[in-house]
């Protein structure tokens, strides 16, 4: 149980951390969030996450609640208080508290809350076996590039996946193309050994893990294509995997009950996971 949470300028015991009933995040999901992984006590790609937060805020015309310098100090103070060594820090910014009215209220101060989570690393067994995913229609809005706290389709999708015994749901657009998971980006490796992931557009959240892995793939000289792929192409692929701040690089070994490739984690997927872990182990605290 984390000891403290940060709520609008104060560090409070987690059980006492509350926001106002007229916070627009609560009433309209009018806000954005970020989750930064913490591994071996280090923040992973903090700057990438903070840049994406700024982008999400800009898109929704929500002013930054505090300066970046202050935000980074609060992040470090909460991690220190809660002694997090492996897990993540969650922060969300909403447009603030105001009597309920859809349009932007004048003079509303953005609200910032932050919590941490200590988690266990994924088991070796899960990594050796890979994980199953199911496919679902993508029923989200047209601005999936904004990391909005409005996550209802993602919640429903993840629940359907869990009910089907799967780890994740890969969402499929009306044109038959896979967009992404409910909380991760989707990847395949073709029969010719090319790594494929959907290009970053309004249709997906541009994952920070995705972006980092793309640069590692380029550094290592593997062939990469940023383009859409269909569910059929994924079903016929040699390998598949997913990326996210909490799953890092996770092999996908089944889609809708059918094995991907030989049904075991792919060689390239496992190598890419190792490259990603090497990157994490080499991390220094970002200045
Ligand atoms: N897509 C969606 C819809 C997500 O919620 C997430 C997780 N935030 C991702 C992709 C992966 O992003 P990241 O690598 O930054 O965790």
**Cα 17 to Cα 53: distance, rounded to the nearest angstrom:** 22
Confidence of residue 286 (pLDDT cuts 50, 70, 90): low
287 domain residue, yes or no: no
Q: In the chain, what percentage of residues exceed pLDDT 70?
A: 98
139 shares its domain with 75 = no
168 shares its domain with 252 = yes
Asked whether 198 and 227 are in contact (CB, 8 A), the reply is yes
96 pLDDT more than 60: yes
63 shares its domain with 138 = no
The total domain count for the chain is 2
Q: What is the pLDDT of residue 66?
A: 98
**Cα 229 to Cα 185: distance, rounded to the nearest angstrom:** 12
Tokens 């993840």 belong to 158
* Ligand 1 atom nearest to 204, measured from its CA: 1
Show the DSSP H helices in the chain as ranges.
Answer: 24-28, 46-60, 68-82, 124-129, 152-163, 208-220, 231-235, 267-281
179 domain residue, yes or no: yes
Q: What is the pLDDT of residue 101?
A: 97
43 pLDDT more than 80: yes
Indicate which CATH number applies to the domain containing 77: 3.30.470.10
Ligand 1, atom 13, residue with closest C-alpha: 207
Give ligand 1 pocket residues (Cβ under 6 A): 35, 154, 180, 183-185, 205, 207-210, 243-245
Tokens 């494929």 belong to 196
Is 117 annotated as catalytic?
no
Asked whether 17 and 78 are in contact (CB, 8 A), the reply is no
Confidence of residue 125 (pLDDT cuts 50, 70, 90): confident
45 pLDDT more than 80: yes
Asked whether 114 and 78 are in contact (CB, 8 A), the reply is yes
69 shares its domain with 135 = no
106 shares its domain with 138 = no
Angstrom CA distances, 77 to 168, 226, 269, stand at 33, 38, 36
Q: Which domain holds residue 51?
A: 4-118
Mean pLDDT for all residues in the chain: 96
Q: Average pLDDT of 8-28?
A: 97
pLDDT digits (tens, 9 = 90+) for 244-258: 999 999 999 999 999
Ligand 1, atom 12, residue with closest C-alpha: 207
Tell me if residue 269 falls in helix, strand or coil: helix
139 shares its domain with 276 = yes
* Ligand 1 atom nearest to 209, measured from its CA: 14
Q: What is the pLDDT of residue 240?
A: 98
Q: Which residue has the higher pLDDT, 64 or 281?
A: 64
**Final residue before a domain boundary, out of 118, 152, 185:** 118
286 domain residue, yes or no: no
Helix (H) / strand (E) element for 259: namely strand 258-259
55 shares its domain with 152 = no
20 shares its domain with 109 = yes
In sequence order, which residues have a C-beta less than 8 Å from that of residue 261 and are 6 or more positions away? 237, 238, 239, 240, 253
Q: What is the pLDDT of residue 287?
A: 55
Tokens 């192409």 belong to 233
**Final residue before a domain boundary, out of 118, 144, 177:** 118
* Ligand 1 atom nearest to 144, measured from its CA: 3
2 pLDDT more than 90: no
131 pLDDT more than 70: yes
How many angstroms separate the alpha carbon of residue 106 from the centre of ligand 1? 32
How many angstroms separate the alpha carbon of residue 257 from the centre of ligand 1? 24
Angstrom CA distances, 136 to 88, 119, 174, 203, stand at 28, 28, 11, 15
143 pLDDT more than 80: yes
pLDDT digits (tens, 9 = 90+) for 182-191: 999 999 999 9
Locate 283 and state its tokens: 């991390």
Helix (H) / strand (E) element for 10: namely strand 10-13
121 pLDDT more than 90: no
Confidence of residue 218 (pLDDT cuts 50, 70, 90): very high
Confidence of residue 153 (pLDDT cuts 50, 70, 90): very high
Site to substitute for ligand 1 among 154, 207, 208, most atoms within 8 A of C-beta: 207
Give the bridge partners for 240, in sequence order: 188, 252
* Ligand 1 atom nearest to 52, measured from its CA: 15
**Final residue before a domain boundary, out of 69, 85, 118:** 118
Q: Average pLDDT of 218-228?
A: 98
12 domain residue, yes or no: yes
250 shares its domain with 128 = yes
How many angstroms separate the alpha carbon of residue 107 from the centre of ligand 1? 31
Q: Average pLDDT of 56-69?
A: 98
Q: Average pLDDT of 209-223?
A: 98
């Amino acid at each position: 149980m984390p000891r403290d949470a940060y709520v609008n300028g104060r560090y409070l015991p987690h059980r006492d951390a509350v926001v106002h009933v007229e916070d627009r995040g609560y009433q309209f999901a009018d806000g954005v969030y970020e989750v930064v992984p913490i591994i071996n006590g280090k923040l992973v790609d903090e700057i990438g996450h903070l840049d994406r937060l700024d982008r999400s805020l800009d898109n929704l015309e929500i002013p930054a609640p505090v300066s970046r310098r202050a935000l980074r100090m609060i992040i470090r103070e909460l991690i220190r208080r809660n002694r997090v060594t492996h897990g993540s820090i969650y922060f969300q910014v909403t447009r603030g508290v105001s009597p309920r009215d859809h349009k932007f209220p004048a003079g509303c101060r953005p609200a910032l809350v932050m919590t941490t989570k200590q988690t266990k690393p994924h088991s070796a067994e899960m990594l050796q076996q890979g994980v199953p995913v199911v496919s679902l229609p993508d029923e989200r809005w047209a601005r999936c590039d904004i990391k909005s706290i409005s996550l209802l389709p993602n919640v429903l999708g993840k629940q359907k996946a869990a009910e089907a015994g799967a780890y994740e749901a890969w969402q499929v657009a009306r044109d038959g193309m896979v967009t992404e998971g409910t909380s991760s980006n989707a990847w395949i490796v073709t029969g010719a050994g090319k790594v494929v992931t959907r290009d970053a557009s309004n249709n997906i959240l541009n994952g920070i893990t995705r972006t980092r892995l793309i640069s590692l793939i380029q550094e290592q000289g593997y062939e990469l294509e940023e383009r859409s792929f269909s569910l059929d192409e994924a079903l016929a692929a040699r390998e598949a995997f997913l990326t996210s701040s909490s799953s890092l690089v996770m092999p996908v070994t089944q889609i809708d009950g059918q094995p991907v490739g030989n049904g075991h984690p792919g060689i390239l997927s496992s190598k890419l996971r190792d490259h990603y872990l090497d990157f994490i182990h080499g991390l220094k605290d970002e200045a």
